[in-house]
């Protein structure tokens, strides 16, 4: 993973089951928890997801942003937590 990418996740939208996550080995515990919290806030809005749906959530516990994208069938959500470049 690039140093800018701190967190990746794949979630099934229908029942919001997290199928896979990957966190950068250099990420501290609060950074991981921050991205997991941002993912939870995105999942609250994912019930209305449609094919190609996109969402962005600021990470409150760390300097970063979580970007989430629905697949072409709106069955899965892929999320990437990006560390702030500033």
Q: Label each residue of 25-79 as H, E or C.
A: CCCCHHHHHHHHHHHHHHHHHHHHCCCCCEEEEEECCCCEEEEEEECCCCCEEEE
b (16+ CB within 10 A) / e for 32-61: bebbbbbbebbbeebeebeeebebebebeb
Give the pLDDT of residue 2: 53
pLDDT of residue 78: 98
Residues of the chain with pLDDT under 70: 1-2, 85-86
* pLDDT value of residue 1: 45
pLDDT of residue 61: 80
Which residue is associated with the tokens 């500033």?
86
pLDDT computed for residue 70 by the predictor: 97
pTM: 0.88
pLDDT at residue 86, rounded to an integer: 52
């Amino acid at each position: 993973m690039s140093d800018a990418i701190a967190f990746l996740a794949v979630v099934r939208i229908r029942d919001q089951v997290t199928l896979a996550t990957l966190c950068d080995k250099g990420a501290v515990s609060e950074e991981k928890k921050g991205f997991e919290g941002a993912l939870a806030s995105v999942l609250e809005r994912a019930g209305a997801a449609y094919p190609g749906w996109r969402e962005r959530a600021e990470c409150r516990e760390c300097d970063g942003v979580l970007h989430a994208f629905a697949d072409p069938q709106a069955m899965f959500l892929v999320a990437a937590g990006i560390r702030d470049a500033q």
